[in-house]
Amino acid sequence: MQSDNCGPDRPAHPGIFPTREAGKSDHEPAERSVDFPVSVVLPAGGTGERTGLQTPKQFCSFLGRPLISYTVQTFERLSWIQSIVVVVAKEHMDLMTDIIQRFQHRKVRVVPGGSTRHRSIWNGVLALGGEAEGEAAAGDRPKVVIIHDAVRPFVEEDFLYKITMAAKEQGCTESDFEFGTECLHLALQYCGTNAKLIQGPPTLWKVTYKRDLAAAESIIKDALSQSACIITGGSAHAATLAGALQKAAGALDTELEVIPDLMGENASYLLKEWNFIRVSVNCSCLSEVEALLGDLEAADRALLHPVVVIWVHLSCSGESSISGGKVEPDVLMELASAAKLQNILLYGIQLQQSKEIERWERSVLKVMEITSALIRERSPALVGQLLQA
């Protein structure tokens, strides 16, 4: 039913949502080199009238994080972006400052907006000028200022690089002054910096109506659901299951990697946007998944997004059992409730190994379907459940 080749569960542009660690993700091209200072002004003073909501849309939350933080993250991850100024309405200064602290944004300053959008941009550009004057030599003054709608979170590095280089080479053209907005004048006059008004591609769409919130959430969820990492603990049975899951995942368009543990080089998985599947064989004591949760917390991996951890409990009747085959649902629920406070969503799946090939393949497919659904939906209501495959 959900296997339509045009179901809405896949984004048109799977890579458009940036990962936090620039250059580290497998889904992202290598970072561009920009050898001059670039700054960003994000006007975020809108009232969100058209969404029909009380909260302005830049402060609406997706998976527990406000939209504005996603937009900031998009720019912040690029090493060649020097500084970011977010311009918000006076009454939202405290809220915005809290967001910056909570999600540990660096490079960001907040300034109050003016009575119109253009006055707000003016304030932002003025803040950049002041920053360059007060804190650094003229060499650090931004050569290019990108003025970008705070409610257009899905902008790609390739595009930002292209427009930055174009702005550097062309300066402000006469036609920009003719057809552009006052922003260009402001940037030139008060910051001593060239500015350029940019026409964006369709991916640079603006969150405008309430239906756009659903589309944005879907894009974010898709981007976070593309890959998962199976940890086998070195068990041969677990590796067999992991191999079968990889095969099943191919049909579901999910990338699965299999590793024995998170030691050595594998620790780098903790720094990437992965979801985790921990397979335990005949061990129902949860100590293995507890260790994984500890690693994730130590790496502060769930700061920006909830991380999904799926504990798969495989019972093999022929094997000796370390701690008995029966899982206590209450214990899993308690562990999941604690993890949820750390923004880690823990779910359980149990399955029985079978020598009947057909039955085994059906179980494996079920594990994969459940896993995909849990990773995609990230439902807080279902954490701690022990599902059957």
C-alpha distances (whole Å) from 284 to each of 90, 95, 191, 346 are 54, 44, 63, 15
> 306-344 burial, b for 16+ CB within 10 Å, e for fewer?
bbbbbbbbbbbeeeeeeeebebeeeebbebbeebbebbb
CA distance 294 to 248: 29
Nearer to its own copies, 54 or 115 (CB): 54
Check binding of 17 to its own copies (CB under 8 A). no
**Any idea what DSSP says for residue 326?**
-
> Which region among 188-196, 230-238, 272-280, 372-380 touches its own copies (by CB under 8 A)?
372-380
Contact status: 134 vs its own copies (CB under 8 A)? no
Query: Closest CB to its own copies among 123 and 350?
Result: 350
Regarding 306 and contact with its own copies (CB under 8 A), the answer is yes
Give 236's strand partners. none
CB of 219 to its own copies, least distance (A): 6
Strand partners for 348: 311, 386
Q: Cα-Cα-Cα-Cα dihedral of 14, 20, 26, 29, to 10°?
A: 80
The residue from 317, 329, 334, 359 that contacts its own copies (CB under 8 A) is 329
Contact, 278 vs 288, CB < 8 A?
yes
CB of 25 to its own copies, least distance (A): 22
CB of 326 vs its own copies, minimal distance in Å: 13
Nearest approach, Cβ of residue 223 and its own copies (Å): 12
Q: Residue 38's closest CA among 104, 84, 69?
A: 84
* Helix 357-377, helix 210-224: angle, nearest 10: 130
∠ CA 191-195-200, nearest 5°, is 145
Q: Which stretch binds its own copies (CB under 8 A): 68-76, 158-166, 175-183, 370-378?
A: 370-378
Sole window of 137-145, 179-187, 319-327, 379-387 interacting with its own copies (rule: CB under 8 A): 379-387
List the interface residues with its own copies, window 184-243 (CB under 8 A).
202, 205, 209-219
By CB under 8 A, the residues from 36 to 65 that bind its own copies are 50-55, 57, 59-64
**Which positions lie near its own copies, rule CB under 8 A?**
1-2, 4-8, 11-12, 50-55, 57, 59-64, 202, 205, 209-219, 306, 329, 333, 343, 366, 369-370, 372-373, 377, 379-382, 384-388
